[in-house]
Amino acid sequence: MVQLGRIAKLGYVVAIVEYRPSDVALFPAQIIDAKYAVQYMVEHKDEYCVDPNNLILWGTSSGAHTALMTAFTKGLDQLKNSRIKRI
C-alpha cells in the first residue's frame, strides 16, 4: 500500500480493486470483476479524474495474474470496452 500512496502523491489516480477469490467464485469471475472495475472507472472518469486512454493495471501474486488476464482476454460478452494500456 505504501507504493500506491507514493504513486498517488505523484498525481496518478489509484483504485484498489477487490475481486472474488477462486474459492468463492469459479474462473473467470476474477477477470470479469476486474474488467467491471475498469469499466466503472471509465464510466466515472470525470468524477475520479481518470484518463480512459491511459490505464495501467498493477498487482502482485494472484493480483498480477488477474491484471495480465484482464488485459489480454477478450471475447466474453460480459467483458466490453477493455481499455487497458499497460501492465
Q: What is the pLDDT of residues 14-73, one digit of tens each?
A: 999 999 999 999 988 999 999 999 989 989 999 999 998 888 898 999 999 999 998 888
Q: How far apart are CA 15 and CA 52, in angstroms?
A: 13
Q: pLDDT value at position 85?
A: 61
Helix H or strand E segment including 54: none
Assigned C-alpha cell, 76:
466474453
Q: pLDDT value at position 82?
A: 53
Instruction: Report the SS3 class of residue 67.
Output: helix
Q: pLDDT value at position 79?
A: 52
DSSP annotation of 86: E
> Taking the model in full, what pTM does it have?
0.77
Q: How many CB atoms are located within 10 Å of the residue 15 CB?
A: 12
Q: pLDDT value at position 2?
A: 67
